[in-house]
Amino acid sequence: MPELAPDLLDKVTNLAKRRGFIFQSAEIYGGFRSTYDYGPLGVNMLRNVKDQWWLSMVQLRDDVVGIDAAILGPPAVWAASGHLETFTDPLVDCRNCKERWREDKIDGICPKCGSKEFTEPRAFNLMFKTQAGPVEGEGATAYLRPETAQGMFTNFGNVLASIRKKPPFGIAQVGKSFRNEITPQNFVFRTREFEQMEMEYFVPPAEAPKWHQYWIDARYNWYINLGIPAEFLRLHEHALADLSHYSKGTTDVEFAYPWGWDELEGIANRGDYDLTQHSTHSGTKLDYFDPTTNERYTPYVIEPAAGATRAMMAFLLAAYHEDVVEGETRSVLRLDWRIAPYQVAILPLSKKPELEGVSREILAKLQPHFMCDYDVTQSIGKRYRRQDEVGTPFCITVDFDTLQDQSVTVRDRDTTEQTRVKISDLLSDLRRRTNQE
């Protein structure tokens, strides 16, 4: 485990609320357990995380396409996928304090009161069930999806028929999923409503082991590339006995959370389980005919399944630092510029109209290229600290010299180094600093 700041989880949770990343949902009504709202900075960051995933998984590839499937689904989908039958957690009640727990997460001791006396475990289905339309009864039952994956399987035939792809190829999706978790906990690590980023990669069965390893490496490197230090990450291969009902092999990317190593993303070899199940249950053949070999086969599926909200939390935890600048302790989020809520902050030294005028011109020039903040309140030192705390990589200070020399000061969040740059060179300068030129 890497060395973490003391009380890291509390510090990041507090910062997230105070600075507009993540709020307790319905807080003015006392909150609603395990639901969160993303504030002005959080929505930027979450969007960046999802965009970076989409960039690497879809845009930069010619073998993966995206979809956006419905959240509500009929029972037939979940009967075929196995979720109605097996998507359960073992629920136990503490006989002493009556608190409910997930048996596999508590090592036989009640985390609340320490008792070792529990009721027999009962299988608790994690799917949210609801009614679609005004008709009571079986036909109108619907479920909120507990994973995005099934939308890719049920649309396999549609996608294949509408685009010219052949295995190996993938279908990707980003969106909300819902699980009625028994013990949601640890801020946004485990919530009942969350966002997933999943891709189903369909391959000829013989190539499945090779592609499984490929996606384990690719997904691990995605986190490294976006700035999570290697010491915060490790791969964990599931023992055969622990595999989910559909899996022929699963490796998790684990992250060093303040409570220990835990899952960030799972990369599973699902075999032909899903396409076979949906073919059998729906009566629609979901397979692939290879015209070059005249063979018909059901592709195997390699699935990298990540949580967007959980990933955002990991990025925040890994980025949080405290250091001393000019004799003062500061907290700083060392976020990669691509996922920081703001990439650039424009800070006029005073509210004088002539400074505001040129500052707003700079803002308008940079906004099409970077997410920008604009702040005129408080001393410049305080404003730097506020930007450091939310991870803004670059501050642009506009001062009275600017009016004479047409230059501004660019301050780097991590080194705190300040450089004078001509306004006419500013965009190129920022592009160079972010390796875009």
Binding residues vs ligand ATP (CB under 6 A): 147, 179, 181, 190-191, 194, 196, 263-266, 305-307, 309-310
Give the residue with the Cβ less far from ligand ATP, 262 or 287. 262
CB nearer to ligand ATP: pick between 191 and 298: 191
CB of 305 to ligand ATP, least distance (A): 4
Alpha helices in 283-417 (DSSP H): 308-319, 353-366, 380-389, 400-405
Which residue, 184 or 299, is less far from ligand ATP as judged by CB? 184
Contact predicate 401/417, CB 8 Å? no
Tell me whether residue 195 or residue 373 sits nearer to ligand ATP (CB atom).
195
**Of 168 and 266, CB closest to ligand ATP:** 266
Determine the residue with CB nearest ligand ATP.
Answer: 307
Smallest distance from ligand ATP to CB 311, Å: 7
CB neighbour list of residue 42: distance below 8 Å, 6 or more residues apart: 16, 20, 21, 22, 312, 341
Q: Are 151 and 70 in contact (CB under 8 A)?
A: yes
Q: Which is nearer to ligand ATP, 159 or 188 (CB)?
A: 188
Q: How far is the CB of 221 from ligand ATP (least distance, A)?
A: 17
Both structure tokens of 46: 């979450």
State in Å, rounded, how far the first CA of the chain is from the last one.
36
C-beta of 173 vs 196, nearer to ligand ATP: 196
- CB 81 → ligand ATP: shortest distance, Å? 12
Tokens, residue 118: 């529990």
CB of 263 to ligand ATP, least distance (A): 5
Note the helical H segments in 226-343. 273-282, 308-319
Which residue number, 115 or 186, has a Cβ lying nearer to ligand ATP?
186
Closest CB 350 distance from ligand ATP, rounded Å: 45
For residues 78 and 127, the answer to whether their CB atoms sit within 8 Å is: yes
Strand partners, 358: none
Which is closer to ligand ATP, CB of 270 or CB of 383? 270
Rounded Cα distance, 354 and 359, in Å: 9
Of 413, 236, 421, 239, nearest to 336 by C-alpha is 413
Per-position b or e across 230-260, b if 16+ CB within 10 A of its CB: eebbeeeeeeeeeeeebbbbbbbbbbbbbee
Q: Which is nearer to ligand ATP, 170 or 393 (CB)?
A: 170
Q: Report, in Å, the least distance between residue 150 CB and ligand ATP.
A: 12
State the minimum distance, in angstroms, from the CB of residue 148 to ligand ATP: 9
Least CB distance to ligand ATP at residue 179 (A):
5
Please say which residue, 154 or 196, places its beta carbon nearer to ligand ATP: 196
Short-list 269, 261, 263, CA closest to 304: 269
> Which residues, 6+ apart, have CB-to-CB distance to 95 below 8 Å?
115, 117, 118, 119
> Rounded to the nearest whole angstrom, what is the least distance from the CB of residue 295 to ligand ATP in the complex?
32
Q: What are the C-alpha distances in Å from 377 to residues 326, 331, 380, 386?
A: 21, 20, 8, 11
> What is the three-class DSSP state of 218?
helix
Other CB atoms within a 10 A radius of the CB of residue 383 amount to 19
CA distances from 290 to 17, 169, 336 (A): 53, 13, 43
The least distance separating ligand ATP from the CB of residue 199, rounded to whole angstroms, comes to 12
User: Which residue type occupies 151?
Assistant: G
